[in-house]
């Protein structure tokens, strides 16, 4: 290398150094700003998640408040004679509980209005006065609208909800413009409410000879922080001894009682299956990956997963494959719209 002693030379040398420095600094700034953007997105994404969990947990505590009131009453009155006349009192209590729970906590408008429930009456009164415009209604909003009506104007056995008026304005919206407010997540999507999410646990329904709750612990891992064990998943929490369903089926098979339209799955939960109230946000991707709570044909009322999820759980539609290759299935499930969903059964992080 030549000795460089003139000031011009030194200047050229310094300038070259400065240019390299400048380029490096620019590079660093570009990299850093990229990282900051990603971090900001991450923070606002997780802030939205936390905000949604807070709303879901508030709704969860209100639901529990309603359930406490519900449990103060016996449920043997007002249920159809076909059940009353043919079953014993302890069985009637189990079935009556479900019958009355559907009336007290409807999750779609058909349930609310077909029987003369208190929430159905409020809904019809709003329709008559023009506060509810049925033509604008979109089915996916119904469960969030009924939850809002229940907490703010409704009651359980005549007892209204306490602390139900403190919801932030950004957690309530009328997304379909039908005049009824909905609970919405931090991404603006209506929440979904499932009273008995039993098809999440048994996507094929109850099969006496081949219980298929096996792979559903994979799904429950995605909707709750603490998934129930398999024994719990195979048991109806209202029928701890697992006997009522069997007795009803025996009576039906002997043609002693005609159960058409009563205690059928869909109207009622799947037999011998765990359930707990589930409120769901479809998460950042706004894909629910469950059938809608108003969907009768696809068992959406019981939170059955969509076909995409079923294809992962049971490739080729064969229920016998449900317990095979669970690790691969779990990996595949994490790629679906189900994985980022947020529910009332999740705990706040940190």
Closest CA to 175 of 138, 220, 212: 138
Q: How far is the CB of 205 from Ca ion (least distance, A)?
A: 24
Strands 159-160 and 342-343: unpaired
Query: Least CB distance from residue 30 to Ca ion, whole Å?
Result: 33
d(CA 312, CA 308): 7
Cβ-proximal residue to Ca ion, closest one? 141
Q: How far is the CB of 341 from Ca ion (least distance, A)?
A: 5
Q: Which is nearer to Ca ion, 17 or 334 (CB)?
A: 334
- Residue number with CB closer to Ca ion (187 or 262): 187
Chain center to CA of 138:
18
Q: Please report, as ranges, the residues that interact with Ca ion according to CB under 5 A.
A: 137, 141, 174, 176, 178, 180, 182, 282-283, 285, 287, 337, 340-341
Q: In what order do the strands lie in the sheet with 342-343?
A: 192-194, 278-281, 342-343
Quick one: 160 or 337, whose CB is closer to Ca ion? Answer: 337
Taking the complex as a whole, the smallest distance from the CB of residue 232 to Ca ion amounts, in Å, to: 26
- Contact of 231 with 239, CB cutoff 8 Å: no
Residue 140 CA neighbour count, 13 Å, CB half: 15
CB 310 → Ca ion: shortest distance, Å?
16
Nearer to Ca ion, 180 or 257 (CB): 180
SS3 assignment, position 324: coil
CB of 173 to Ca ion, least distance (A): 8
Between 180 and 248, whose beta carbon lies closer to Ca ion? 180
What is the C-alpha to C-alpha distance for residues 91 and 175, in angstroms, rounded to an integer? Answer: 42
Contact criterion met (CB below 8 Å) for 300 and 292: yes
Q: Which is nearer to Ca ion, 128 or 260 (CB)?
A: 128
């Amino acid at each position: 290398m030549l000795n460089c002693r003139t000031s011009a030379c030194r200047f050229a040398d310094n300038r070259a150094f400065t240019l390299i420095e400048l380029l490096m600094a620019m590079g660093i700034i570009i990299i850093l700003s990229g990282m900051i953007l990603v971090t900001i997105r991450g923070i606002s994404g997780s802030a939205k998640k936390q905000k949604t969990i807070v709303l879901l947990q508030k709704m969860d505590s209100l639901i529990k408040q309603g359930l406490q009131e519900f449990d103060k009453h016996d449920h043997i009155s007002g249920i159809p004679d076909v059940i009353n006349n043919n079953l014993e009192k302890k069985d009637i209590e189990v079935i009556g509980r479900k019958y009355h729970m559907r009336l007290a906590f409807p999750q779609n408008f058909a349930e609310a209005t077909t029987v003369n429930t208190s929430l159905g009456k409020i809904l019809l009164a709003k329709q008559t006065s023009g506060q509810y415009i049925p033509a604008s209604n979109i089915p996916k909003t119904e469960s969030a609208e009924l939850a809002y009506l229940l907490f703010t104007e409704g009651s359980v056995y005549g007892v209204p909800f306490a602390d139900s008026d403190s919801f932030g304005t950004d957690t309530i919206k009328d997304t379909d413009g039908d005049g009824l407010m909905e609970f919405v997540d931090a991404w603006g999507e209506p929440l979904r409410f499932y009273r008995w999410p039993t098809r999440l646990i048994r996507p094929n329904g109850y099969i006496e000879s081949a219980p298929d709750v096996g792979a559903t612990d994979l799904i429950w891992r995605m909707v709750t922080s603490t998934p129930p064990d398999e024994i719990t998943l195979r048991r109806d929490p209202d029928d701890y001894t697992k006997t009522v369903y069997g007795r009803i089926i025996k009576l039906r098979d002997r043609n002693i009682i005609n159960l058409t339209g009563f205690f059928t799955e869909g109207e009622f939960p799947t037999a011998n299956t765990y359930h707990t109230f589930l409120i769901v946000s479809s998460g950042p991707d706004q894909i629910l990956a469950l059938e809608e709570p108003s969907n009768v044909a696809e068992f959406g009322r019981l939170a059955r997963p969509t076909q995409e999820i079923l294809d992962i759980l049971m490739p080729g539609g064969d229920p016998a494959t449900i317990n095979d290759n669970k690790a691969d299935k779990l990996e595949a499930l994490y790629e679906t719209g189900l994985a980022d969903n947020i529910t009332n059964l999740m705990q706040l992080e940190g």
